[in-house]
Structure formats: C-alpha cells, structure tokens
Amino acid sequence: MCELLGMSANVPTDILFSFTGLMQRSGPQAPHRDGWGVAFYEGKGLRLFQDSVAGADSEVAALVRRYPIKSEIVIGHIRHANVGGVSLANTHPFVRELWGRNWCFAHNGQLADFHPPRGFYQPVGETDSERAFCDLLNRIRTVHAEEVEGTRLLPILTQACTEFRQHGVFNCLLSNGEWLFTCCSTKLVEITRKAPFGPARLRDADLTVDFHAETTPRDVVTVLATEPLTEGEQWDQHPSGSWSLWRLGECVARGRLGGEA
Amino acid sequence: MCELLGMSANVPTDILFSFTGLMQRSGPQAPHRDGWGVAFYEGKGLRLFQDSVAGADSEVAALVRRYPIKSEIVIGHIRHANVGGVSLANTHPFVRELWGRNWCFAHNGQLADFHPPRGFYQPVGETDSERAFCDLLNRIRTVHAEEVEGTRLLPILTQACTEFRQHGVFNCLLSNGEWLFTCCSTKLVEITRKAPFGPARLRDADLTVDFHAETTPRDVVTVLATEPLTEGEQWDQHPSGSWSLWRLGECVARGRLGGEA
C-alpha cells in the first residue's frame, strides 16, 4: 500500500515539514520504496517532482526537502508497488488537462478486476490508480463539456468512488487547482491548523516546528494524510466510506459514499 | 524570443553539457530571464523540470545541472516572455496525454492574431505557444483516434506548421517519446555526434567535454538548438521553412514546408 499527503491552504504555504515526515517512510528500509511524487499548484501552473526510487535515495526529494515551495494546494504520494512495475510512468501523482486546468490525482489502495471503459483520457502507465483517474475525468468530461464548480461535480465523483470501492481499497486525493477532493475508503486523517498556532513534532523524525513563528493569524492550513504525521496534535480520522471537499484550507462539503450509513 | 534545446539519442544519454551551455543564456543579465524548462523522457514517463525565474537564479536548474538524467529524448527551453506573463503556467515545455502517451512541446517565436478553433485540448496558460500545441494535438486527434506511426502524422504536422508560420515565427520541437519532430521557421541548428567522438567546448562557459570518454562506439546523439552551443564542432543550420523527424539519434525524414522552394 501507499501513503497520501494533501494540503489545502488559504495562503501559499510551504509543506516542507509534512513532506519531510512523509519521506521518512520512503526509505530503503521502509515499505514505500517504489517511488514518490509531489505536485504543487502555483496559480494555474503545476510543479511536479517525482522519482521511481525511494525518497531517501532521491536527489530530487533532497531538493524538495530544502526548497520551500509555497502553494495553496499540494498532493503527495509515496509508493509501495502492487499493480504495475517500478517506473516513472507508474509514479503518482498523475496529471491531465481538462477545461484548461491541470488536474492532479493520487491513490492509496488497490482495485481488482478494474477495467473502466476506454475514454478520451488514457493511462500512460500500467497502474489501476491511473486507470481510475482517467475514468474519473472521462466521466466528468462526458457530462460537463464546460467548466463547472467543484460542488456540481460531487454527484459524479461520489458515484465513481462508490463504484471503485467495490473493486477494493480506494483512498484518493484529487484537485483541479481550485479545490481538493478526498475519498476515504479505509484510511485518511486530517488536521486543520489555524490561530492560535502552536508547535508540532514529527512522528518519524526528530524535527519540531513552531507554526506560530511561520504563520499569520489569518492562515488556515489543512493537511490530509494516510497516517498522522505529527505527535502532540489532534488528527481526525475520516470515516470509512466518506468524502470531503476543501477550498482555501476549509472543508466546504463532506458526506458519505453510497451504501454507507 | 526564446531558445530551444532538443536531443534524440539511440541510448539513454545525459544532456548536462548542453543544458549547462543553454542555462548560461538564462541569467539576470541575459535576455532569457523569464523562465526555463526541460523535459526528459524516461520510458513512457516524462520528467519535467521548470521554473518561472531565470536559470541562473533557479534552485531547480542547479539540481538539473548536477544530476545526470539519462534519456533518449529531451526537450528544453529558455524563455524571454512576449505573449503571456511570467508564470509557471506560461513556461515551456508543455505536456499533454494523447493515445496513452506523454506529448511534449516547446516553441521559439511569436504568433500574431492566432486564434485556433477551440478543441479538446485547451491551453492552461496565456501563451500563443501553448495554443499552437493544443491545436496540433486537436488536429491529430480529430484525424487519428488511435495511435499511428510518426511518419503518418507528417501531413498534419507540416500543414499545421505551414499555417502557423503565416502568423509569425514558429520554430518548435515536438515529441511523443518515440520520435522528435522539428519545425524551423527562422533558426534551428543541429549536430549529430557519433564515433569517432572528440572533445567539444561550450561557447558560453569555460567548459570542455571529451565525448570519447563518455560514450561507446555505437552511440548516436543528435542535439538541436536555436544557436550552436559549442565551438570547434560543425553545427548545420536548418533551412528556413523546413521540418525534420528524428528517431534514436538519426534523421528519418526531412523536408520543406508548403510554399517553400
């Protein structure tokens, strides 16, 4: 299985601290050694860093760890390969253009017997994850030729996630640069940091940050992850079979997938 | 205006030497200070590094300069903004997926009054260059729903380039990871290096490389650029209004655009 990292913020914020924590889990001795990737929205542009080696062995990861890229939406992923070999083409996050926007997607889980209909978007690699991403975009494009608000996509997204879950585990992060959508099939946690900011300490490395010194009182920053990244803070677990939609650090909608109580 | 850098090789080859030469022309005192980008094919995957600052000021460029990424096809670009502001979304090369492949494009020149019909692929940024790229892909997709060989695309590509040139200067590099297509509207030079390899010295920096020490006798590596990057080697100029198609370092087809003698 893999691990996800997402961020939604109301000001461009760097994610060095959380990224450093996540990368501790992507080493030669760690389970997630089959690649990593992180995408930073910068306006409508998207900056994607990836490698098909473990984060600990990656020169590109070393750059990202020391380079404070500020973004309002970030999607990161560390990979333990199950479907598809270890290659750049199989490395999350995946990116496609729709409506003149960069869409970005990462998945934790595994889908069995998953063969969505061929559509406009086609996978470049061999993963079930990229097939799911292409299918999501094909469903959206079929219904909406022109751009619509994120909330208007919820029926399509939640229906697709409900179907995908019938094939296995489907925790995902999806963004078009305006909003961040999450689906929790089994594991996803969140924390929203806002004033008064305090210190936090990574679980996986001897590193503490004082967010008070790095923020303004108006900042709202939500981090989503497969497992909590810090100690001494309250991370909230998403219920199994739930989704959420984030904008500028705040949750604007959330609910249960079809078939969930 | 901008500058282009392309490579086609029959073995995965690093382009550190040429990239270093190109980046000398992307500094605070140099004309091309409005961003740079370079894309490396790695199998079907594509590794894209970009920045909307000058190469000399870019931490990402510093990484690429010291990190020997080996690839069979590379497309690079340094930007002097004319159409579209200085931003990541306006930074070349541009990437889209078609037929489950990553297509990559960079442009040197400027197109006036250029408003191609709206199609499936839409620009994310504001440049004439990205509009041209989207239009190229829309034309291909309209005719070929399924993948075809590069040579079968030549009628579409050369017709499009002929039309684009009526709007201004259109030097470009385009690849789908299998082949590299070039169009020379005003300026493009090429050099093919093969055994016996010799030394070469950058024009723009005090750096010499002995290709003999870094290659095998079977290697064939072609570099394409807006201006020659080295001294003491013969770079061949493409005629104005010509195109070429490269595969594994060798030119597999070349010709004149419509309306050229």
Query: B109-119: per-residue pLDDT in tens?
Result: 999 999 999 99
Give the residue with greater pLDDT, B90 vs B82. B90
Q: Residue A261 falls within a domain, yes or no? A: no
CB atoms within 10 A of CB B243: 23
Quote the domain boundaries for residue A117: 3-256
Which residue out of A34, A52, A63 would a mutagenesis test of the B interface target, given it has the greatest number of B Cβ atoms within 10 Å? A63
What is the predicted pLDDT for the residue at B261?
54
Does the complex come out with an ipTM higher than 0.85? Answer: yes
Q: What is the mean pLDDT of residues A157-178?
A: 97
Instruction: DSSP letter for B232, please.
Output: S
What is the predicted pLDDT for the residue at B258?
85
Domain count along chain B: 1
Q: Residue B261 falls within a domain, yes or no? A: no
Q: Residue A134 falls within a domain, yes or no? A: yes
pLDDT at B171 > cutoff 90: yes
Please tell me whether the overall predicted TM-score, pTM, comes out greater than 0.90 for this model.
yes
Residue among A44, A50, A89 whose CB faces B44 most closely:
A89
| Per-residue tokens: A150 | 């994120």
Average pLDDT in chain A: 93
* Alpha carbons B120 and A102: distance in angstroms, whole number: 14
Q: Is B121 on the interface with A (CB under 8 A)?
A: yes
pLDDT at B1 > cutoff 70: no
pLDDT at A28 > cutoff 90: no
What is the predicted pLDDT for the residue at B228?
95
pLDDT at B256 > cutoff 80: yes
What is the predicted pLDDT for the residue at B110?
94
Q: Residue B44 falls within a domain, yes or no? A: yes
Domain CATH number, residue A142 = 3.60.20.10
Q: What is the mean pLDDT of residues A221-248?
A: 96
**What tens digit of pLDDT does each residue of B102-147 get?**
999 999 999 999 999 999 999 999 999 999 999 999 999 999 999 9
**What tens digit of pLDDT does each residue of A33-76 get?**
888 999 999 999 999 999 988 888 888 888 888 888 999 999 99
Find chain B residues with C-beta within 8 A of A124's C-beta: 44-45, 97, 100-102
**What tens digit of pLDDT does each residue of A93-122 get?**
999 999 999 999 999 999 999 999 999 999
Find chain B residues with C-beta within 8 A of A100's C-beta: 122-124
Q: Residue A193 falls within a domain, yes or no? A: yes
Q: Which helix (H) or strand (E) holds B193?
A: strand B189-194
Q: Residue B28 falls within a domain, yes or no? A: yes
What is the predicted pLDDT for the residue at B192?
97
What is the predicted pLDDT for the residue at B260?
64
What is the predicted pLDDT for the residue at B213?
87
